[in-house]
Structure 1
Amino acid sequence: MKGRKRHILVDTDGLLLQGHVHATNIQERAGAKLLLQSLRFPAHRLRLIWADAGHWGRKFAAWVQENCGVVLDVVSRNELVNRQKEHKGYVPLPRRWVVERAFAWLGRCRRLSKGYEQNTRSSEAWILLAMTSLMVRRLT
């Protein structure tokens, strides 16, 4: 496979709730739908989902609300521009940094640092294995 996109759903601590990998020819919103449809627990446990600007769209927000019963909050760069005027230096996007940190943790796993896997199911399995290892280390 030439390229793949990784979608992850994490809690506010950055721990993995669900992961999904698919080919790059699928748009962000369609990939997020696949992720939400593959949830292994009831979506009613979620109240709010923060997403980046690639997931913006009224139809997609309505789909998330209708099918998952969750409010979708898209974090935009406009918020960042307003915050940078107030502060000097690097200012991360609100709550988006939690997901970026989780991707960085996954990048520390050698098998996930590059696209070594031939199919998406293997990539998903390695994401689960890497995050399970991280969660076990946090317990001890």
Structure 2
Amino acid sequence: MRTKYTKVKKMWADMGYQGRNLKNHIKEEYDIDIEIVKRPPCRFWVHKDTPPELLPTREQGFKVQPRRWVVERTFAWVNRNRRLSKEYDLLTTSTENFIYLAMSRVMLKREYA
């Protein structure tokens, strides 16, 4: 994939991939920057004696997050495969390989459709 898609410079990932080791490895090995797309906070812990003017504000209602749809769309593509829709496998390597297969299928369908 790296030889064919040489112009890839940025990836968007879910909050589950926010470890520093992964980000550094991808940057050093492939020269690709990973941006973690975070959800807006929905709950806050505050002390009971906090005055109301110091409470954090929260926007009400639905708000589209930038690039969040890209991550969610990719999860939808992966979950179309029955084997990946639930956690059937005991080994994470099996699940990882099936994710590679699922995304290869998506890319091949896009290339030859």
Q: TM-score over 0.5 for the alignment?
A: yes
Residues 30-89 of structure 1: CA distance to partner in whole angstroms, max 9, x if unpaired? x6345436549735332x513215xxxxxxxxxxxxxxxxxxxxxx358x938x6xxxxx
Structure-1 separation of matches of 2:59 and 2:98: 36
Segments of structure 2 that go 5 or more residues without pairing to the other structure are 1-9, 43-57
Instruction: Determine which structure has the larger strand proportion and give its number.
Output: 1
TM-score, normalised via structure 1 length: 0.48
Residue 132 of structure 1: which of 81, 100, 104 is its match?
Answer: 104
Structure-2 separation of matches of 1:41 and 1:108: 32
May I ask how many residue pairs the two structures share in their alignment? 87
Q: CA deviation at 1:92?
A: 2.5
Instruction: Determine which structure has the larger helix proportion and give its number.
Output: 1
Percent sequence identity over matched residues? 33
Say which structure, 1 or 2, has more relative contact order (CA 8 Å, 6+ apart): 1
Tell me: CA distance 1:37–1:128, structure 2 relative to 1, closer, same or farther (3 Å). Answer: farther
TM-align CA RMSD: 3.5
Residue 97 of structure 1: which of 40, 62, 69 is its match?
Answer: 69
Segments of structure 1 that go 5 or more residues without pairing to the other structure are 1-9, 15-26, 54-75, 85-89
Give runs of aligned pairs for residues 110-121 of structure 1, distance below 5 A: 110-121=82-93
Poorly superposed stretches of 4+, deviation over 2 Å = 31-46
